[in-house]
Each structure stands twice: as structure tokens, then as C-alpha cells.
Structure 1
Amino acid sequence: MKIITLTLNPAFDVHCMMNRLELYKENYGTQLTRQAAGKGINLSRALVSYGVENTAITVVGTENGEEFLKDLEEAGISYLSVEAQGRIRENLTVHSPDTPETRISFEGFQTDDGILHQMKNLMPCDADTIVTFTGRIPMGISKQGVISFLKEIKETGAKLVIDCNSFTMDELLSLQPMMIKPNQQEISQLVGKELEPEQAFELAKQICEKGIDHVLISFGGKGMVYSGIWGQYRILVPEEEIVSTVGAGDSTVAGFLAGLVSEFPPCDVLRLSAAFGSAACLTPGTNPPVKTEIDNMFTKIRCNY
């Protein structure tokens, strides 16, 4: 089974580490890192860290795309790219021990629906392919254009995995992806009310009955809820000291795919998914989860039918 990750909205993730953050004062950083990112790229990084082959297809800006692609090469990520005029955006995250993460996001290049046709021409899709679409739709590209693009991919027989908060529930159901993975905030927005894990089971079951094979809803430290063709599961994760939550959701999707293509039993696929996401919280910045941490976390995660 081939895995292709799509990134329409790439970014450079810039992480500033500080001993203390004080508002309205001059602050001093202790470390600064800069990495090629975007949700699809984060997913590819996590898969590569676990030895799972995949290809990242991404848009890059003409002004700083060379730096971005060089970083992918150094990370061992196989990629194909198309160019858009302008710069790849930057996300700045400030980390200090005594305050929550603070993120500042900048806008990058603008493009149009034509870039979707260029990406489609790069994609060797068939029934043996899983294609992930993650992250928000960037400025300049229409939602209807993306929906048509994804339907064209489905027509090749490829299986879609979607983790994107740009779609309504009706739009997701029209795409009939193999899997969706909203988090607590996203699923609550989709249904218009705050949901806890116990309430999410019935909703996930209803979504599955409308044609989506796997519905995985993440609740951070409360674990995950799964409903799908394997039944219903509650996945419980251990309490750990969080270093950074950046990329944890992407890693959760990566873990699910890693288990799926490795033909793990259903419960182990879900445990591996949670292990990827939990291990990602133990690494700084956009760094992917470490394999030894994933394997260690896997032994601690419970999956209840």
C-alpha cells in the first residue's frame, strides 16, 4: 500500500525556546529552530521516523522553496513539488516553562485552483494508494475546487484520509473518505456543541453508518474514541509531561496509517496511532516522534472494546 501526503499550505515552523516569558518586557531566547512543516509534511516526518515509506506532494513558494525542499531531503522525506509565486508562510511558536505555548502565524503565498491540476498530474494513484489531505485550505484556492480535486483522486480507486477543519460534515460525507480524525474542538464545531469522549461514541457511530469506514476523534490527554468497521473502541493514554503539542494530531494520523499498512490487528492500529500522538508530545518543536518513545508508549496504552 502506497501512502501519499498532500500539503497545500506548507510552512516554516520557527520555535523559540525561553526560560521565562514576560509580557511588555524585552525577553531573551535560549534556542531557535526552523523546520519545513505543514500538516502533510509533519505526517510524512512521523512516518519516516518509524520507517514507513511515503511520498510528500507539496506546494512551495518561489522565494524560499529551495530552503524548504532542502530540509525535506535532509529529513529523508521523498517528495514531489509544484511552485507558487511568493513565499512559504512562517509559524512562530514561543515556548517557556511557566506559560502555555504562544503561536503567531503569518500568511504566505496566494495561489489558485490551477495548482490542484498540477498536483493531480504528479500523483500516481490507484486502488493500492492512500492519500492524506490535512490542514486548512490556503487563500486563493476554492473549497469547491478542493472537493472536486479530492473526488477525482477517489475515482482512481485511491483511499482518502482527511484531517481538515475547512469542511462541513455534509461536505465530508460527500467525499466518503476512508478515515477522518477530528479533535475535540473540531468535532464540537462540526455538530455545534461541546462533546466529551462518552458523548462522541454515538456521533462517531452515526458518521460511520453514513459511509466513512474509520472515525477517530482525539481528546488530548483524555485519549481517543474510535467508531468504524472494526466496532467501537475507547483508547486511553498515560499522563506524560508535555514538551510540545505541535504535530501531535498529524502524528496520530501517521500512527494509524503505519499500523494499517503493517496489517496490525484493529486494536493495535489504534494503540499505535495513540502512541505516535503521545510520543510526538515528548519532542520539541516540529520534530517527529522518536521510534523508541513510540514503542515504549505503545506498551502503556489501553484499548477497550
Structure 2
Amino acid sequence: MAKVLTVTLNPAIDVTIQIDTLNVGHVNRQQSAQSLAAGKGLNVAQVLKDLGHRAIVTGFLGKENRQIFDKHFAHEGFDNHFIYIDGETRQNIKVGEQSGRMTDINGKGFAITEEDKKALHATIERLLEPVEIVVVSGSLPQGFSTTELVELIEWLKTKGKKVVVDTSGPALSAAIKANPWLIKPNTDELTEAFHQPAETFAQQKQLIQDNNIDIENVVISMGEHGVNWVHPVHPLHAKAPRVQVKSTVGAGDSLVAGMIHGFLSQYSPEETLKTATAIGSNAVTQIGFAIEDLSAIDNLKQQITVDSLS
């Protein structure tokens, strides 16, 4: 299968704690806890691997707590080309409740030097030749500016690569100006970035028009309301299946991986969106988001309808 390179600039160790109900200001007793090597690009890589694709991973990692990542890379069979820098990779604390609500406390991340950035650039350039799609996902670490994110995207485009970007806030606003091949914001992220409502297709189209967004594939996740794929030729809506939500961690990354999988598998647009929506929906039914049984994806696809938005 095709090779995909994922770039995770600010990875994290996700510590997910399950409790009955979060009582702020009081002692809460956990039901379970899990620590995972994570980061949006790594999450995309894991799902792509589960779908049969070759995942090459790079970005920055702290030397002092690298063991959990090295073990994860070996287990998943990733082609690891991370730049190991001084310090620790951050921790993200995620508190999940029985209702499905998730409270996130995200760490700030390490600081990147100019030498670190040069090392990453050289590494990516060395890895690019066999790669068709490059995924740049997640937040930016300290010392890596939004201007440098735009420069990275534009440079990858000059190399003839399809660039997928999944980020938020000022990084999303900046990345959009570089016109990557695909972005995958949710409605809240669009509203935060552009201070415009983005709940409906009409609002999304207006936001894209008002801000001169010229991106071929704008995939907008809307939780239980499904997914809108705002495309100049075949705009589509996928209705989300009814599932019991256990955790939303990795759901957006799973959707991104599903879209890439559909493209690499040469699916029709309708089949691509249906498959990607099923993969994202499967993620929320479990703690973690690995695809352990492909039949679960097929079962969810039977519950999903895809309609034209044109």
C-alpha cells in the first residue's frame, strides 16, 4: 500500500482517566487509567497502519521520556524518524465520564531551537520521495511559529505532495492561507479561528467564501450531526450512526485517516466519506481508537447515509 508521512510537531503522552462523574473541587476516584504515546499525527499513523498502509512518522520528541514512544513505534511497526530533543514530551490529561463527556488538560510542550527545526527539515526532505501524502497534525510547540507552519506547507507543496492539515486556533487560520490539499476542522475550531458561525452547511459555505478559503477538500466534523465534505465539485454530507460514546479521543484523527484511506484506495467520493465517517464513529465507541476488527467498520457503514449538498 501507499506510503504516508505524518509530521507531529508537538506530541504527547495521553493519560486517560475514566470516572463515573467528575466532581470539580472534590476527590474523584478513577475506574481505570491508561497512558498512551499520542499526538494527532501519530494517531493518524496508527489508524492508517490498521487499514494496511505504510506509516512513516516524524516530528519532535523529548529524550527524557522517550521509552513509551519507542515501545509504541516498535509495536506498531512505524518507520520512526523523530528528532529527539532535550527535555520531556508533554502529558495531556483526559478525564472521561460515563456520560461520554471528556475534560482535557493539555500540556504546553517543549521549546524548539533553530537547530531542531533544521534537523526536521533535512529529515523530511530525505523521506519525501516515496511519499504521496504528508499529514501535518496537532498543535505547535514553543518556538515553532505559525509563519514557519505556513512555510512548511508551502515547501511540501513545491515537492508535489498532497498536504493534509489538522490543527486549530491561530495555527489553523495560518495553515489555511497556504492552501493545503485537505483540512479537517470541527465546527468549534472553525468558529474559533474565524469568529463566524459554522454549524450548518450554509454557514460553512459563507465562512469559506468570506475568508477566501481556496482548499479542495474541507472536511468538517460535526459530532453526532455527521460530517460535511465541502468540495467544489461534489459537496457531501454523511449522517453519523447512532453509537454509545465512550471517548472522543482520536475520533477526528480517525476521520482524517479514513479520508486518506479512501483516496489511496481510489474509492468514489461517497464511499470515501462513508468509510471515513464509519472509522471516526468506531473510535468513539472505545477507549483508544485502534481498528481491531474491520468488520466493525463495515457494520457501521451500513448505518451511514451520504447525501449531496450541491
Structure 1 length-normalised TM: 0.91
Partner of 2:28: 27
| Separation in structure 1 between the aligned mates of residue 131 and residue 89 of structure 2, nearest angstrom | 32
| Separation in structure 2 between the aligned mates of residue 171 and residue 301 of structure 1, nearest angstrom | 33
Given that residues 127 and 159 in structure 1 are in contact (C-alpha distance below 8 angstroms), is that contact kept between their aligned partners in structure 2? no
| Separation in structure 2 between the aligned mates of residue 227 and residue 127 of structure 1, nearest angstrom | 29
Q: Does 1:219 align with 2:222?
A: yes
| Separation in structure 2 between the aligned mates of residue 98 and residue 199 of structure 1, nearest angstrom | 31
| Separation in structure 1 between the aligned mates of residue 100 and residue 85 of structure 2, nearest angstrom | 37
Q: How many residues align?
A: 304
Partner of 1:46: 47
Given that residues 125 and 157 in structure 1 are in contact (C-alpha distance below 8 angstroms), is that contact kept between their aligned partners in structure 2? no
SS in 2 for 1:27: coil
Q: 1:158 to 1:204 in 2, by over 3 A?
A: farther
| Separation in structure 1 between the aligned mates of residue 251 and residue 279 of structure 2, nearest angstrom | 8
RMSD: 2.3
Q: Deviations over 1:93-125 (max 9, x none)?
A: 122315722222223321134323212222222
SS in 2 for 1:287: coil
| Separation in structure 2 between the aligned mates of residue 70 and residue 218 of structure 1, nearest angstrom | 31
Given that residues 86 and 108 in structure 1 are in contact (C-alpha distance below 8 angstroms), is that contact kept between their aligned partners in structure 2? no
Unaligned runs of 5+ in 1: none
Given that residues 40 and 135 in structure 1 are in contact (C-alpha distance below 8 angstroms), is that contact kept between their aligned partners in structure 2? yes
Deviation of 1:179 (Å):
0.7
| Separation in structure 1 between the aligned mates of residue 175 and residue 10 of structure 2, nearest angstrom | 19
Q: 1:128 to 1:206 in 2, by over 3 A?
A: farther
Deviation of 1:214 (Å):
0.8
Q: 1:153 to 1:116 in 2, by over 3 A?
A: farther
Partner of 2:136: 133
| Separation in structure 2 between the aligned mates of residue 60 and residue 298 of structure 1, nearest angstrom | 36
Given that residues 207 and 215 in structure 1 are in contact (C-alpha distance below 8 angstroms), is that contact kept between their aligned partners in structure 2? no
| Separation in structure 1 between the aligned mates of residue 45 and residue 210 of structure 2, nearest angstrom | 27
**Identity %, equivalent residues:** 27
Partner letter of residue 289 of structure 2?
N
Pick from 285, 289, 299: which aligns with 1:287?
A: 289
Q: Does 1:263 align with 2:266?
A: yes
Partner of 2:186: 183
Partner of 2:3: 2
Q: Quick check: 213-222 or 25-34, which moved more?
A: 25-34
User: Where do residues 180-259 of structure 1 align in structure 2 (5 Å cutoff)?
Assistant: 180-203=183-206, 206=209, 211-259=214-262
Q: Deviations over 1:245-297 (max 9, x none)?
A: 0111111100000110010011111111111111110111x332443322221
Given that residues 7 and 135 in structure 1 are in contact (C-alpha distance below 8 angstroms), is that contact kept between their aligned partners in structure 2? yes
SS in 2 for 1:108: coil
Q: 1:295 to 1:200 in 2, by over 3 A?
A: farther
Given that residues 60 and 88 in structure 1 are in contact (C-alpha distance below 8 angstroms), is that contact kept between their aligned partners in structure 2? yes
Partner letter of residue 290 of structure 2?
P
Partner of 2:75: 74
Structure 2 length-normalised TM: 0.89
Partner letter of residue 248 of structure 2?
T
Q: Quick check: 128-137 or 109-118, which moved more?
A: 109-118
